[in-house]
Structure 1
């Protein structure tokens, strides 16, 4: 189970003399940030909760006694693992038997292992081939998404990775860093031509060479497309078309990493980035409005696509940008955990040379840490897949 999301547990046991010691143990231990336990001592209350629960509130594991689980008639179709507490009686038909009066540390360990196995099982269904797709997202504009994406591109390129930077903003702000013409002197046919070719009848070749469409940008150590001047091509792009574009690049076999930058507004292209990316960097600012908008966007996602939100959170790193050394505002939702911080660079406020945006040693150091954490997480996930 990813450390981004605490394991959600429903505990259903008759008698508070069992529930309270377990809750007290968890709250006073290192498991306090890893477990969220909702406890029931009345079977009917448990039944009602399980009938109504979905989305982000849907539990990862249910731990309970037979009288409770017997009321949960949809348990076999719910795809939620059950640990059945017993004192020696036969209970295997309800789920995995667990002795009720185990040491609390052992019981918590079994719960976490059950959640981990469930998470790994989901990943094995969604195993992938091709380059790693990193999506850059934010709930509002002006948070430094493009600056972070291009510095990440440069850092990964310097470390020997083959990188493609894909900008899907309606107004491509990356041209501030790269200019609008090819520094290599080779004019790519561009994104417009690639979109046309992908729509052509009978074109099912996902291994096409991208060389004729893109240009090399040495300043960011990556290939990219020339900015699209007919913005209607972007505003008319559907979610499926954007996902096809992203996956075509990632599955071309020519890139280790594809970094995707998009508008902050939740539209078709932004949705494609959320769905197609293997990892997401969600940028935040330590101010009230940024946190509020982030919470509102998460609320919209939970309402419109609750199952998709859970999968998205599992691959998201929440990162505060322009970090001043201490956090003043709280993250807007309790399932969020801050996974990184990019420093505030005062000199950028009065900068006249755009290349300085890609050469701050302090900023590059934190970008390097973020990149290595992402790649380490990816390596760990692939190792898990190999052994599952």
Structure 2
């Protein structure tokens, strides 16, 4: 019989009367061999421990109140799952919310499962031969697909993932964020050349090094293609060609995540993103026209692709962009649920310096939550949901 390796938990709660019953339960239950809990009731002691943790002291999961977790300044860089205890208040910025008062068996079980899921997700990501494909979708232009995609790219790149950003829009606006679209001084062979070479080797199974066709853009911490000079190449691209392009990048083994910015109009490239992506972010705006167009596009997809429609919905996260704190309009279809919200940033109305579009702390915080949710769901299907889930106008 193999030995059970216990999960190391740091618990940080001010009330000792909360800590003691939990410790007593764990010691006398089935979790005695599976959980090792180090508890703190003094914020300064917790902060000092987290600053000095290494080796055997490094926990597998941290559970605590927001007042404690706010003192752990390196929690984002530590790559340790963090559960923040709450009683109804908004605490999402400190980690995954966990109801403070619930049956001890459920509390201990959730802590154990969180550590297991996190470990599995990191192992799966490290061993993954093909990158996760995240597609950006919107029923009309101007909803911020590129803003979201490039902020996601920067966030994932900063967290150590290898990212490729692919823009399939007819008019590529990403250069507004990155300046020249290339910042490393190398030109790369370009998307046009890759498309040509894909046709040349079709059916021969010859591997292509995607990195040789692209450039690295440090502003978004990702590789990408230079802007295409001949837009007709994109306009004429078929769905099959776009799918092949996306999958070639993802299966190259060079990237953990491929973020695809699709065209807003229904067509071959947009269809390819719907088909090829492992996860879809469908952006919404809280206005009547955006909601109506979204509903109409969903109607078209349901009628024209009834068999694929349910599969598409299963991998779709509906996210409202430029969220101001409350939804005014109802979602256009009964089956839709909001899975996330990205805040409205007034300063972006007039931007003189493009780097400001990639440096809002508030926006980056919500992008970080969205990224972690998408990556975890793509690998382990965790049970956590967004605070906005199910909210209606």
TM-score normalised according to structure 1 size: 0.64
Q: Which residue of 1 aligns with 2:153?
A: 153
Instruction: Decide whether aligned partners of structure 1 residues 381 and 220 sit closer, same or farther in structure 2, where only a CA change above 3 A counts.
Output: same
Query: Could you give the per-residue CA deviations for residues 51-103 of structure 1, whole angstroms, max 9, x where no partner exists?
Result: xxxxxxxxxxxxxxxxxxxxxxxxxxxxxxxxxxxxxxxxxxxxxxxxxxxxx
Q: How does 1:301-380 map to 2 (within 5 A)?
A: 301-380=301-380
CA distance in 1, matches of 2:298, 2:161: 32
CA contact (8 A) 1:130 1:253 kept: yes
**Contiguous gaps of at least 5 residues in structure 1:** 1-127, 383-388
Residue of structure 1 in register with 2:172 after alignment? 172
How far the C-alpha of 1:290 sits from its partner, in A, is: 0.5
Unaligned runs of 5+ in 2: 1-127, 383-393
CA distance in 1, matches of 2:230, 2:202: 25
CA–CA distance in structure 2, aligned partners of residues 347 and 201 of structure 1: 48
Q: Give the distance between the partners of 1:333 and 1:129, measured in 2 at CA.
A: 37
SS in 1 for 2:210: coil
Structure 2 residue 231 is the aligned partner of structure 1 residue 234: no
State the partner residue of 2:17. Answer: none
Q: How does 1:212-227 map to 2 (within 5 A)?
A: 212-227=212-227
Hey, what does 1:120 align to over in structure 2?
A: none
CA shift digits 1:108-149 (9 cap, x unpaired): xxxxxxxxxxxxxxxxxxxx9510000000000000000000
Corresponding residue for residue 193 of structure 1:
193
Count residues in correspondence: 256
Partner Cα distance (1:358, 1:177) in 2: 7
CA shift for structure 1 position 375: 1.1
Partner of 2:266: 266
Inter-partner Cα distance in structure 2 for 1:223 and 1:181: 10
Given that 1:207 and 1:251 are in contact with CA atoms closer than 8 Å, whether structure 2 keeps it comes out as: no
Aligned equivalents of 2:203, 2:182: Cα separation in 1:
28
CA–CA distance in structure 2, aligned partners of residues 368 and 206 of structure 1: 36
Query: Structure 2-normalised TM-score?
Result: 0.63
Query: Root-mean-square deviation (CA), in Å?
Result: 1.6
Shift of the alpha carbon at 1:379?
Answer: 2.4
The 5 A counterparts of 1:1-388 are 130-180=130-180, 182-202=182-202, 204-205=204-205, 207-381=207-381
Does the 8 Å contact 1:172/1:227 carry over to 2? yes
Structure with more relative contact order (C-alpha pairs < 8 Å, separation 6 or more): 1
2:258 aligns to what SS in structure 1? strand
Following the alignment from structure 1 to structure 2, what is the Cα–Cα distance between the partners of residues 373 and 379?
10
Contact 1:197 1:203 in 2 (8 A): no
Within 1, Cα distance between the matches of 2:202 and 2:242?
A: 18
Q: Secondary structure at the match of 1:176?
A: helix
Cα distance in 1 between the residues matched to 2:358 and 2:250: 24
Structure 1, residues 321-373: CA drift from partner, whole Å, max 9, x if none?
00000001111111110000000000001221111000000000000000011
